[in-house]
Amino acid sequence: MARPLKAIDWDKVDRMIEAQCKSKEIIGGLGIDDNTFYRRFKAHHGERFEDYACRKSQYGLGLIRTAQMQKALNNSSKGNAQMLIHLGKVLLGQTDTTESEKVKTKLVEEVLKEINASKDMIITHGTDEETDPG
């Protein structure tokens, strides 16, 4: 007689995927074999774990962005501001733009304009010399 199947809380699995947990972390919490998990996942969801998790984890990243926006617009909303900043930097690639970075960017843009202007002058000058009959 076969052993009864161990119950899997699929809602908990979804929340863990949204929280960016890796498959090994999810499976480790369930206490079942990797192959068993993947087989039962496909039977339950009708697709491979990797495909489903890719979409579902993106949804989790969207939840972070949404929480950041809600916190920014309404400081009384749920969520720890420092943790939202940290998660934004770590998971969403967000960065702080300092005043010095803005100045550096402006300087680089000015130098590029001067280089392009010099290049245009050289091209124009070179054309004048070629057409000068003297």
pLDDT in tens, 29-42: 898 999 999 999 99
Check whether residue 24 and residue 87 sit in a common domain: yes
Q: What is the pLDDT of residues 60-77, one digit of tens each?
A: 999 888 888 888 787 766
The Cβ-side half-sphere exposure at 27, using a 13 Å CA radius, reads 14
One domain, residues 27 and 44: yes
Residue 31: CA count within 13 A, CB half-sphere: 4
Do 116 and 80 fall within a single domain?
no
What is the rounded CA–CA span in Å between residue 15 and residue 106?
Answer: 43
Can you give the residue range of the structural domain that contains 122? Answer: 97-134
Gap between the Cα atoms of 128 and 123, Å rounded: 9
Confidence of residue 83 (pLDDT cuts 50, 70, 90): confident
Same domain for 28 and 69? yes
88/49 same-domain check: yes
- Same domain for 105 and 126, yes or no, is yes
- The pLDDT of residue 68 is 85
Q: Are residues 73 and 110 in the same domain?
A: no
Asked if residue 2 is part of any domain, the answer here is no
Per residue in 92-131, pLDDT (tens digit) is 888 877 766 777 788 888 888 888 777 777 776 665 555 5
From its phi and psi, is residue 46 left (phi > 0), alpha (psi between -120 and 50) or beta? left
pLDDT at 85: 83
Q: Are residues 22 and 54 in the same domain?
A: yes
| Number of separate domains in the chain | 2
Same domain (yes/no): 71, 29:
yes
